[in-house]
Structure 1
Amino acid sequence: MSAAPEYRVWALPGIPEVRPGDDLAKLIAGAALGEGLPGLADGDVLVVTSKIVSKAEGRILAAEDREAAIDAETVRLVARRGTLRVVENRLGLVMAAAGVDASNTRAGTVLLLPEDPDASARRIREGLREALGVDVGVVVTDTAGRPWRKGVTDFAIGAAGVRVADDLRGGVDAYGNPLVATVVATVDELAAAGDLVKGKAGGLPVAVVRGLPHVVTEDGEAEGARWLVRPAVDDMFRLGTSEAVKEAVSLRRTVREFTDDPVDPGAVRRAVAAAVTAPAPHHTTPWRFVLLESEESRTRLLDAMRDAWVADLRADGLSEDRIARRVRRGDLLRKAPYLAVPCLVTDGAHDYPDARRSAAEREMFVVAAGAAVQNFLVTLASERLGSAWVSSTMFCREVVRDVLALPEGWDPMGAVAIGRPAALPAARPARAPDPFVTVR
């Protein structure tokens, strides 16, 4: 009968205060040879707190203003709540305060994460091989919280000589079910195991894990911990709520060229669901969205609109050449694989005996329609769909109502071209709010 799987983990006492320039491998080797300790052996894994790595590498910054240090280490804001910031740092790690730590360091200073934690782990591993003649794995760790879970845990930010992940995809479980998504983050599990004996305030920055030689690899056989950083394209939770709204607003650009990729009708309906949360007068719902999902319906509408436009231009006395050029410039809607026609419905509007108040009443409804369309466009952007809101239908509302068989009270408020952008729009220049603000 085979023995049950097991491993041991213990902390290494006796590591002195680490200072810039110290040789960590020598300090760890000396501690490992302490009296009463089992020493180090091939196949062991050293779990090393990043704080001592940062100290040895001189990543100590005099910073009365910790926020400035966080700014310098940040490449992207993920979420903010009050003074707390969760950011992506220059290592690609998403952490509170970019991993800038004001604990376990002198007052008036902060610790930055190592420049290259994988390289740091390799140096410690090579130093221990030279000092003690052993082949061990090394994991450099830091502490972070996790979405949807209270509390913090240690995780790997650097690794050398360790299999960082166990990819079980393509295998089967004990019942023969296929495993299609299971990738175990082995180094993170080692980091958490080590922290159980190191602790956060016990002055024990290094732990040894023994009994798992299968996770230790030869030089060059394993990726570093950087492999575990999820690329942006696969990140479903890239932003906090308010930051996601801001990004969607910034992505809301007029797109003039679309790919031929089909548009998901469900995404458009989610945008409609957001649109109808806009404010409206008198507790009304003055919006309707006509979705043209077939090429036949789009062509029929756009042909009728073009004929009406040509008739208007001829009535204005334009030459056939100028008319043709105008019509070609108006072909944006034809390039889109999907069209939506937002309509204003003024059911519930108040009747007033004078024109002034009646005009103001309609304006309230028009403003509500604009708010709904803005919600619609922003939500499309959050779905990674491009759009262009054009006013064409407002010049031939009767034609649009007739072709689409709409009720008399529906006022088409332009048309929205929707599709996948053929190219990313140019960066939008920053626009300060001050020129648009008057304070009284």
Structure 2
Amino acid sequence: MSGSPGGGGTAPSGAPSFRVWAVGGMPEVRAGDDLSKLIAAAGPGLVDGDILLVTSKIVSKAEGRVVRAADREAAIDAETVRVVARRGPLRIVENRQGLVMAAAGVDASNTPAGTVLLLPEDSDASARAIRDGLRDTLGVEVGVVVTDTFGRPWRNGLTDVAIGAAGVRVLDDLRGGTDAHGNPLSATIVATADELAAAGDLVKGKAEGLPVAVVRGLPHVVSGDDSPGARALVRSAADDMFRLGTSEAVREAVTLRRTVREFTDEPVDPGAVRRAVAAAVTAPAPHHTTPWRFVLLESAESRTRLLDAMRDAWIEDLRRDGKSEESIVRRVRRGDVLRNAPYLAVPCLVMDGSHTYGDERRDTAEREMFVVAAGAGVQNFLVALAGERLGSAWVSSTMFCRSVVREVLSLPSSWDPLGAVAVGHAAGVPRERGGRDAEAFLTVR
């Protein structure tokens, strides 16, 4: 890599190499300027197969994305569609271009006082316009990458990445190939456009007033006009394992928890359920006790045996109550959510460590403390299942036939079943929960 078209060291014979240099002579860019003409006039010496790296700031200025904003925070709000994480005044957000970054990309540097600079509306379109303009002006076929500065999870420091691209293979999919030792590559997709952007930043710098760089020697990276653009670099929500900050993830998991009544046949990962149990037993409990137990019914035989016994007990109760056979069939059918689930968990309450006062009022309060703690554990369990992208439904039926459940599952007499939780992969999108105004549930003194 060298700092000018003709400078730099010499690579060993036959070894791959490329050159990158900054383009000097660029004027101050103003709204309405034709960037391709300004770049061509700066004399970058472009040839077919070169790749042009253009800082997004000058693209935004040319496209009139400078706006008056006495309050930068208000501008960030306007560009934000989702807060990913927040710590003090710092916000990592998803902006209207679909990029996850600090402050939505709103920049108060290199712009007049009282104004802020927004990212281009469509950086891929901006890159295409520059590429087309250079083809018309200079007659060259080049790739164009629009770059911006990002921080990265788990890594200190900033680097430039591609937010727009045209005529460039933004991703190099190596899956299906082999490495130098013949091992298959099953997950290797190289972010080529980001690597180009970072290389350009080494010569453009952050404060040198050099917004454009050229890479030469990588013609295989330059593609036709049908390249997908930098949008292909943005990971979809379904595939993004790190979509949220810590507090936001907790809130979303709580929000995602829905009662799911229809499940697919996809097996449930027992490890995911055990991780949910691990979250459940972090709930608070009285007297430093552990009042939770979870019975996991992982075999179809164990689930059927329990549910058949519960059904028979329920029918007997309903007949004793004088219900009609039609009513009994209808009521028993409500338990189908448990029968159709590929996995069941039965949370139980144990009173080990509880106090006995010999006073009905205090003994009742003691049990209620333990029930509340067990309920907190069940809620933790349900929320953690949602975080594992598993659907669930808590059904209270085991509480009405505890002796039957204990007998079928061979549980100690001191274990009190607190319902059953159906677990599985939702067969469809759960119905939206009706909005609830938290103020309606508050009393302030």
Q: CA deviation at 1:276?
A: 0.6
Q: CA deviation at 1:170?
A: 2.2
Supply the AA of the counterpart residue of 2:364. A
2:145 to 139, 149, 156: 139
Q: CA deviation at 1:402?
A: 1.2
1:261 aligned onto 2:270? no
Q: CA deviation at 1:218?
A: 3.4
Q: For residue 131 of structure 2, what is the aligned residue in structure 1?
A: 125
C-alpha distance in structure 1 between counterparts of 2:269 and 2:178, whole Å = 33
C-alpha distance in structure 2 between counterparts of 1:179 and 1:299, whole Å = 43
SS at match of 1:120: helix
Identity %: 79
1:5 to 1, 4, 16: 16
Q: For residue 36 of structure 1, what is the aligned residue in structure 2?
A: none
Q: For residue 419 of structure 1, what is the aligned residue in structure 2?
A: 424
Q: CA deviation at 1:42?
A: 2.1
Q: For residue 3 of structure 2, what is the aligned residue in structure 1?
A: none
Q: CA deviation at 1:334?
A: 1.3
Give the TM-score, by structure 2 length: 0.94
1:324 to 315, 318, 329: 329
Q: CA deviation at 1:179?
A: 2.1
Deviates more, 1:237-246 or 1:345-354: 237-246
**1:265-312 CA distances to partner (integer Å, 9 max, x unpaired)?**
111111111111110011111111111111221111112112221222
Q: For residue 213 of structure 1, what is the aligned residue in structure 2?
A: 219
SS at match of 1:249: helix
C-alpha distance in structure 2 between counterparts of 1:85 and 1:218, whole Å = 37
C-alpha distance in structure 2 between counterparts of 1:136 and 1:248, whole Å = 46
Consecutive aligned runs of 4 or more in structure 1 exceeding 6 Å deviation: none
C-alpha distance in structure 1 between counterparts of 2:294 and 2:440, whole Å = 34
Q: For residue 104 of structure 1, what is the aligned residue in structure 2?
A: 110
Supply the AA of the counterpart residue of 2:62. A
1:358 to 337, 359, 363: 363
Q: CA deviation at 1:213?
A: 2.4
Q: For residue 228 of structure 1, what is the aligned residue in structure 2?
A: 233
1:307 to 312, 332, 354: 312
C-alpha distance in structure 1 between counterparts of 2:217 and 2:305, whole Å = 72
Supply the AA of the counterpart residue of 2:383. V
Closer, same or farther: CA 182–331 of 1 in aligned 2, 3 Å:
closer
1:399 aligned onto 2:421? no
1:156 to 140, 155, 162: 162
1:27 to 38, 47, 72: 38
1:387 aligned onto 2:363? no
**1:193-222 CA distances to partner (integer Å, 9 max, x unpaired)?**
1111111111111112222222223333x3
Uncovered stretches (5+) of structure 2, i.e. residues with no partner: 1-11
1:55 to 25, 47, 61: 61
SS at match of 1:32: coil
1:428 aligned onto 2:433? yes
C-alpha distance in structure 2 between counterparts of 1:129 and 1:123, whole Å = 10
Aligned residues between the structures: 434
**1:73-120 CA distances to partner (integer Å, 9 max, x unpaired)?**
222222111221111222221111111111111122111111111111
Closer, same or farther: CA 323–175 of 1 in aligned 2, 3 Å:
closer
Closer, same or farther: CA 315–350 of 1 in aligned 2, 3 Å:
same
**1:351-388 CA distances to partner (integer Å, 9 max, x unpaired)?**
10211111111111000000000000001111111111
SS at match of 2:352: coil
CA RMSD in angstroms comes to 1.5
1:289 aligned onto 2:300? no
What pairs with 1:50-89 in structure 2 (closer than 5 Å)? Answer: 50-89=56-95
1:92 aligned onto 2:98? yes
1:44 to 26, 50, 59: 50
Q: CA deviation at 1:18?
A: 0.8
C-alpha distance in structure 2 between counterparts of 1:209 and 1:291, whole Å = 59
C-alpha distance in structure 1 between counterparts of 2:46 and 2:329, whole Å = 83
SS at match of 1:438: coil
Supply the AA of the counterpart residue of 1:65. D
Supply the AA of the counterpart residue of 2:19. R
C-alpha distance in structure 2 between counterparts of 1:91 and 1:67, whole Å = 18
Closer, same or farther: CA 318–135 of 1 in aligned 2, 3 Å:
closer
C-alpha distance in structure 2 between counterparts of 1:331 and 1:215, whole Å = 56
Supply the AA of the counterpart residue of 1:7. F
Supply the AA of the counterpart residue of 1:337. P
Q: CA deviation at 1:406?
A: 0.8
C-alpha distance in structure 1 between counterparts of 2:318 and 2:62, whole Å = 77
SS at match of 2:42: helix
Q: For residue 381 of structure 2, what is the aligned residue in structure 1?
A: 376
1:277 aligned onto 2:282? yes
Supply the AA of the counterpart residue of 2:443. T
Deviates more, 1:423-432 or 1:57-66: 423-432
Q: CA deviation at 1:343?
A: 0.6
C-alpha distance in structure 1 between counterparts of 2:241 and 2:281, whole Å = 25
C-alpha distance in structure 1 between counterparts of 2:49 and 2:305, whole Å = 72
Q: For residue 196 of structure 1, what is the aligned residue in structure 2?
A: 202
Q: For residue 347 of structure 1, what is the aligned residue in structure 2?
A: 352
Closer, same or farther: CA 421–4 of 1 in aligned 2, 3 Å:
closer
Deviates more, 1:424-433 or 1:235-244: 424-433
Q: CA deviation at 1:432?
A: 2.2
Uncovered stretches (5+) of structure 1, i.e. residues with no partner: 34-38
Supply the AA of the counterpart residue of 1:317. G
Q: CA deviation at 1:331?
A: 2.7
SS at match of 2:262: coil
Q: For residue 14 of structure 1, what is the aligned residue in structure 2?
A: 25
C-alpha distance in structure 2 between counterparts of 1:78 and 1:316, whole Å = 53
Q: CA deviation at 1:172?
A: 2.2
